A and B are shown apart, each in its own frame.
Chain A
Amino acid sequence: MSTETKNYEPGMHPALPPPANSVGPVRWMRDNLFSSASNTFLTLLGVYLVYLILPPFVQWAFIDSVVLGAESRKECLAIMGEDRGACWSFVYRRWGQFVYGFYPMEERWRVNVAFILTAITIAVVLIEKLRANKQILIAGVLLPVASYFLIVGGSFGLVDVPTNKMGGILLTLIVGLSGIFVSLPISIMLALSRISKLPIFSIMATIFIEFIRGVPLITLLFIASTLLSYFLPPGSNFDLLLRVLIMVTIFSAAYIAEVIRGGLAAIPTGQYEAADALGLSYWQSMRLIILPQALKISIPGIVGSFIGLFKDTTLVVIIGLLDPLGIGMAAISTTEWAGLSTELYVFIGLFFFIFCFGMSRYSMHLEKKLHTGHNN
């Protein structure tokens, strides 16, 4: 360490770079990993745990695994010699069911096209450069309508496919994505109603939100599948998938409404007053001033609810709809694949993780992008 000090005139001290030993990777490790005896112990323990878990998993999942060859669990075992690796052949052979459920084989192209259209819609909604162009935005928002007609059929010369044939990833995406896209605007209206000065709106929104939040989603799904038929006029045929969609949507809308209400409460009254003082109408000030800020604050909570909704779609298995988990559970109870289970759960876990992690990263990106140096 150098102890030399130069003398500067008062007020003339220049800005100097930090001393060399206060930056760099070695310094970082010393500060963050080995700063004390207990910290060092925890670091080593963490490394040891990773060592215990990771290599055997890699061995099982990648090195000893059978990916394509086998037609059944027996063949898998024959190829491996003993039960030591993953039998991914199961996922490979059942891929069609995992993705499309029981959608008719010769009509699956329609689902593929719908997937592509949906991917475009999501890209348009998420990527600002695309969204900025009005025509692209309108096209992007109209594509889901096309997807709907493609998947359901019954018009434009397409064969009608009943909704009970839809399953697997297709079902998860239908329920998850339409739930997400429809629940957001509903939740905004609910939140605004709840804080409205007009008691009729606020009381109705409060009752709705508290009722929906106070009931487990499974109960709502049961109501959708059974109880609702009692209330509907006899003979009316109200599609089960549609009923489930409505329940999932209002369930997540109630949660998101509360998240957004929190965001609205965080906006200083000065913002409302400035908007009023400029002569903006209620809807203008909401749309241009209040909601953009409130939604920005609420992003982590909203995306958290979206992720919850997406994962909760697995609950539809209880009322007989076959999401990927349902398809998989049915598959491992067949004679060919009996005895498999880890592969199924790892695969389903990975599928959900990819989607949820994607949403989570996008939300972090959005938060960063929308940060304008102000903390309200």
Chain B
Amino acid sequence: MANNNDKPAIVIAGMHKWYGDFHVLRDINLEVKKGERIVVCGPSGSGKSTMIRCINRLEEHQQGQIIVDGIELTNDIKKIDEVRREVGMCFQHFNLFPHLTILENCTLAPIWVRGTPKKEAEELAMHFLEKVKIPDQAMKYPGQLSGGQQQRVAIARSLCMKPRTILFDEPTSALDPEMIKEVLDVMVELAEEGMTMICVTHEMGFARKVADRVIFMDAGQIVEENTPAEFFDNPQNERTQLFLSQILH
């Protein structure tokens, strides 16, 4: 195991990104070990989502390197698909497929991308739906579920691809307050099982509880990087202090 864990899950080195003339990400350097849980926070517009969306190439970077599981992301579509098969993603607005049932949402990628036989894929899907505690909703459509249930389905959907890493892009920001906990509980459970996770979130309780490292971004740069305890109790950077004072009332 130790040997296997030596190779980092994700390496981002000197990465820059521009939207037109706008320099959104500036010299991002980040190494994520296998099984490590990282929480990314920062004010809106700081580039947190853009950064994690670069990791599975939903956004293209223009300079520097991103290496996921030893595969460097370039324009090579084959390599992009290879990375996407191993990296799951959960979105702020869930992005479930509304025309498919919950079960079909979960079996789609295993069947078409991995070539898993349908029956096997369904068993796999039911296994993960049980894990996120909504097996009884399998035959419903996403539109019939609450936001919290939809987000849990979205998590199950990415788990069905058996990814090595999951990216969470503000998974609880679009949820009603009473539903946030049910999603966070599932995420905590995943974290405890040793999944490599990168979460963009403002749930500081979650960060304190499960994160190995908290990363603070502002104006497209990583400003501070620390263990949760140090990060919350003893922030170094001025901007981190300001941010924390604004969100921790």
Q: Which residues of A contact B (CB under 8 A)?
A: 268, 270-271, 273-274, 276-281, 284, 288-289, 292-293, 296, 370, 372-376
> 5 closest A-B pairs (Cβ-Cβ)?
A373-B143, A374-B98, A374-B143, A274-B95, A270-B95
The answer to whether B144 and A276 have CB atoms under 8 Å apart is no
Chain A residues whose C-beta falls within 8 Å of the C-beta of B158 in the assembled complex:
277-278
Q: Given A278-B157, A373-B144, A374-B142, is A288 in contact with B81 using a C-beta cutoff of 8 Å?
A: no
The answer to whether A273 and B98 have CB atoms under 8 Å apart is no
Chain B residues whose C-beta falls within 8 Å of the C-beta of A373 in the assembled complex:
98, 141, 143-144
A376 to chain B, nearest CB (A): 6
Q: Within 8 Å of chain A (Cβ to Cβ): is B175?
A: no
The answer to whether B98 and A376 have CB atoms under 8 Å apart is yes
A128 to chain B, nearest CB (A): 14
A292 to B97, CA, bound (A): 10
Chain B residues whose C-beta falls within 8 Å of the C-beta of A268 in the assembled complex:
93, 95
Q: Which single member of A279, A288, A293 contacts B98 (CB below 8 Å)? A: A293
The answer to whether A276 and B58 have CB atoms under 8 Å apart is yes
Chain A residues whose C-beta falls within 8 Å of the C-beta of B98 in the assembled complex:
293, 372-374, 376
Within 8 A of A (CB), among B130-188: 141-144, 157-158, 161
Q: Which single member of B84, B141, B144 contacts A277 (CB below 8 Å)? A: B84
Supplied contacts A273-B58, A274-B97, 6 more A-B pairs, CB within 8 Å: A276-B56, A276-B84, A277-B87, A280-B109, A292-B99, A372-B143
Chain B residues whose C-beta falls within 8 Å of the C-beta of A292 in the assembled complex:
99
The answer to whether A280 and B112 have CB atoms under 8 Å apart is yes
The residue in chain B whose Cβ has the minimal distance to the Cβ of A277 is B89
7 contacts between A and B (CB under 8 A): A274-B91, A277-B84, A280-B109, A281-B81, A292-B99, A374-B99, A376-B98
Q: Which residues of B contact A (CB under 8 A)?
A: 56, 58, 81, 84-85, 87-89, 91, 93, 95-99, 108-109, 112-113, 141-144, 157-158, 161
Chain B residues whose C-beta falls within 8 Å of the C-beta of A273 in the assembled complex:
58, 91, 95
Q: Which single member of B97, B99, B141, B161 contacts A279 (CB below 8 Å)? A: B161
A270 to B98, CA, bound (A): 12
B147 to chain A, nearest CB (A): 13
The answer to whether A289 and B91 have CB atoms under 8 Å apart is no
Q: Which single member of A278, A281, A293, A372 contacts B141 (CB below 8 Å)? A: A372
The answer to whether A278 and B109 have CB atoms under 8 Å apart is yes
The answer to whether B95 and A296 have CB atoms under 8 Å apart is no
The answer to whether A277 and B58 have CB atoms under 8 Å apart is yes
A376 to B95, CA, bound (A): 11
Chain A residues whose C-beta falls within 8 Å of the C-beta of B97 in the assembled complex:
271, 274, 289, 293
Chain B residues whose C-beta falls within 8 Å of the C-beta of A274 in the assembled complex:
89, 91, 95-97
The answer to whether B95 and A372 have CB atoms under 8 Å apart is no
Chain B residues whose C-beta falls within 8 Å of the C-beta of A370 in the assembled complex:
99
A18 to B87, CA, bound (A): 54
Q: Given A277-B84, A288-B108, is A296 in contact with B99 using a C-beta cutoff of 8 Å?
A: yes
The answer to whether A279 and B91 have CB atoms under 8 Å apart is no
Q: Which single member of A270, A372, A375, A376 contacts B91 (CB below 8 Å)? A: A270
A373 to B101, CA, bound (A): 11
A270 to B91, CA, bound (A): 8
Residue picked from B91, B99, B144, most chain A C-beta under 10 Å: B99
A150 to chain B, nearest CB (A): 38
The answer to whether B161 and A278 have CB atoms under 8 Å apart is yes
The residue in chain A whose Cβ has the minimal distance to the Cβ of B81 is A279
B115 to chain A, nearest CB (A): 12
B121 to chain A, nearest CB (A): 13
Chain B residues whose C-beta falls within 8 Å of the C-beta of A280 in the assembled complex:
108-109, 112-113
Q: Given A270-B91, A293-B98, is A288 in contact with B112 using a C-beta cutoff of 8 Å?
A: yes
The residue in chain A whose Cβ has the minimal distance to the Cβ of B109 is A278
A283 to chain B, nearest CB (A): 10
The residue in chain A whose Cβ has the minimal distance to the Cβ of B105 is A274
Residue picked from A268, A274, A278, most chain B C-beta under 10 Å: A278
The residue in chain B whose Cβ has the minimal distance to the Cβ of A270 is B95
A276 to B161, CA, bound (A): 13
B20 to chain A, nearest CB (A): 16
Chain A residues whose C-beta falls within 8 Å of the C-beta of B88 in the assembled complex:
277
The answer to whether B58 and A284 have CB atoms under 8 Å apart is no
A303 to B89, CA, bound (A): 37
A289 to B105, CA, bound (A): 10
A372 to B91, CA, bound (A): 21
A296 to B98, CA, bound (A): 12
B8 to chain A, nearest CB (A): 21
A12 to chain B, nearest CB (A): 22
Chain B residues whose C-beta falls within 8 Å of the C-beta of A279 in the assembled complex:
81, 84-85, 109, 113, 161
The residue in chain A whose Cβ has the minimal distance to the Cβ of B142 is A374
The residue in chain A whose Cβ has the minimal distance to the Cβ of B53 is A273
A67 to chain B, nearest CB (A): 50
The residue in chain A whose Cβ has the minimal distance to the Cβ of B157 is A278
A375 to B88, CA, bound (A): 26
A271 to B89, CA, bound (A): 13
The residue in chain B whose Cβ has the minimal distance to the Cβ of A370 is B99
A330 to B161, CA, bound (A): 67
The residue in chain A whose Cβ has the minimal distance to the Cβ of B85 is A279
Q: Given A274-B95, A278-B84, A278-B157, is A374 in contact with B112 using a C-beta cutoff of 8 Å?
A: no
Residue picked from A274, A280, A289, most chain B C-beta under 10 Å: A274
The residue in chain B whose Cβ has the minimal distance to the Cβ of A295 is B99
